[in-house]
Amino acid sequence: MNNTAQNIANKVLLVEDEESVAKLFLYNFKKAGYEYEWAENGFEGYLMAKSFKPDIIVSDIMMPEFDGYELRKRLLEDPVLKLTPFIFLSAKGDESDILNGYDLNIEDYIVKTSGPKIVLAKINSILKASQKERDKAVSEVHQAANSMGAKTVPDEAPKLDGLNIKHWHVPFQNIPGGDFIDYFQADEDNLVVVLGDIMGKKWGAWYFAVAYAGYVRSAIRMILDSDHDLLPSTILDKVNKSVFKDERISDVFITLSIVCINKKTKVLKYSGAGDLPIIHKSDSVKSIKSNGILLGFKEVGEYKNIDVQLKSGESIYLITDGIPETRCTDGEFFGEKKLKEIITSLSPN
């Protein structure tokens, strides 16, 4: 987690249906020190982009079933992948073909006759430009975080009699990011726990994490000042309506997990918006899914509550995608299955 960006190999995804061409470029990617994957068509490339999370995508245009244009259009519909630099690498060199490519918001259009060295030079130039942009954004985020004194993750979890509450948060490369954790003591018996994850804003995610945390706090205060019961679904409904009406964050996507815990009854009420399932460890380890939609998609979110009666020794885990999408030392994704295996092996609190 403490590695600098310079110590991490850039990841290149090549989408190319001709094996001989692909092998030539993959050989050169390896020589240049890139981590790489190869997809043989646009659909496979789209799926691989979601799992591999490349730093840059290089794609042919003419491919069977699912061509490069369709791949690019699909990527532009994805709030995260649309930010990944994209190059068309094609035998089609007419002016109209090149202009059609640039209409899809790409970084470059390279004709295949240019050769691997030219392609590598252009990839390297784009990645360097992205790194400069990233470094500038990271510096600004750190300056803002220091000047505002705003925290998206508290130093310590609160204490609640009869319950052991802990959180663990490690920002990627020590960059304030889009995750936020918050606790709200509603009264002497009830605690609200909030876990959020901002998507689609890359290095600017921290700014929106602060804003969303503010929305959640405001929603909770409004509920406490009214006659409404303090329920996770009610909090989500109020936050969702605020987000839906705010055009400034219309292109920002967020997942939220909210639980309300009563220390006397040991009943945990849970509701989520586009989040990963929470994990309940009792005699077995099982996932509990909310099915709530992402915030801001509809004015009425129709969020539901799920009750969990906690018994002595049982645990609840709230996670964001940073855990299952972490890569192990062998290059495989950590995944939900591995996470559950580790939770199963843990001793009761």
Work out the angle at residue 16's Cα, subtended by the Cα atoms of residues 14 and 17, and round it to the nearest 5 degrees.
150
Q: Which two tokens stand for residue 167?
A: 């959180």
Which of 55-64, 127-136, 262-271 is predicted least confidently? 127-136
Inter-residue contact 343 to 285 (CB < 8 Å): yes
The whole-model pTM stands at 0.58
Spell out the domain ranges in the chain. 5-137, 150-345
Phi then psi for 52, rounded to 5 degrees? Answer: -80, -30
- Give the residue-averaged pLDDT of 91-116: 88
Inter-residue contact 199 to 213 (CB < 8 Å): no
**What is the predicted pLDDT for the residue at 137?**
65
As a whole number of angstroms, the distance between CA 269 and CA 259 comes to: 5
Work out the angle at residue 107's Cα, subtended by the Cα atoms of residues 102 and 113, and round it to the nearest 5 degrees.
80
Which of 137-141, 159-163, 233-237, 331-335 is predicted least confidently? 137-141
246, pLDDT greater than 80: no
Inter-residue contact 297 to 251 (CB < 8 Å): no
Q: Architecture of 150-345 per CATH?
A: 4-Layer Sandwich (3.60)
As a whole number of angstroms, the distance between CA 257 and CA 278 comes to: 8
3-state secondary structure of 20: helix
Residue 310 φ/ψ region, left for φ over 0, alpha for ψ in the -120 to 50 degree band, beta for the rest? beta
Task: Fold for 5-137, please state it.
Answer: Rossmann fold (3.40.50)
As a whole number of angstroms, the distance between CA 188 and CA 161 comes to: 10
**What is the predicted pLDDT for the residue at 223?**
76
Higher pLDDT, 201 or 180: 180
pLDDT, tens digit (0-9, with 9 covering 90-100), for 108-145: 999 988 888 888 999 999 999 888 877 776 676 556 55
- Give the residue-averaged pLDDT of 323-343: 73
As a whole number of angstroms, the distance between CA 29 and CA 117 comes to: 10
Bridge partners, 269 (sequence order): 260, 307
Which of 10-19, 162-171, 307-316 is predicted least confidently? 162-171
As a whole number of angstroms, the distance between CA 150 and CA 144 comes to: 9
Confidence at 298, pLDDT banded by 50, 70, 90: confident
- Percentage with pLDDT > 70 across the chain: 81
As a whole number of angstroms, the distance between CA 278 and CA 232 comes to: 14
Bridge partners, 199 (sequence order): 253
**What is the predicted pLDDT for the residue at 24?**
92
**What is the predicted pLDDT for the residue at 243?**
81
**What is the predicted pLDDT for the residue at 93?**
78
Burial 93-106 (b: 16+ CB within 10 A, else e): eeeebbeebeebeb
Indicate the DSSP class of residue 56: E
Inter-residue contact 233 to 304 (CB < 8 Å): yes
Confidence at 207, pLDDT banded by 50, 70, 90: low
CA dihedral over 253, 199, 194, 341, signed as positive or negative: positive
Inter-residue contact 11 to 53 (CB < 8 Å): yes
**Which residues contact residue 71 at a Cβ distance below 8 angstroms, ignoring those fewer than 6 apart?**
15, 42, 43, 45, 46, 59
Kindly report the average pLDDT of the chain as a whole number: 83
Q: Which two tokens stand for residue 186?
A: 């509603």
276, pLDDT greater than 60: yes
- Give the residue-averaged pLDDT of 237-260: 81
Q: From residue 199, how far is each of 1, 120, 304 by CA, in Å?
A: 20, 30, 23
Confidence at 251, pLDDT banded by 50, 70, 90: low
Which of 57-66, 168-177, 209-218 is predicted least confidently? 168-177
User: For residue 273, which of 311, 340, 219, 227 has the smallest C-alpha distance?
Assistant: 219
Q: From residue 307, how far is each of 17, 85, 266 by CA, in Å?
A: 50, 44, 10
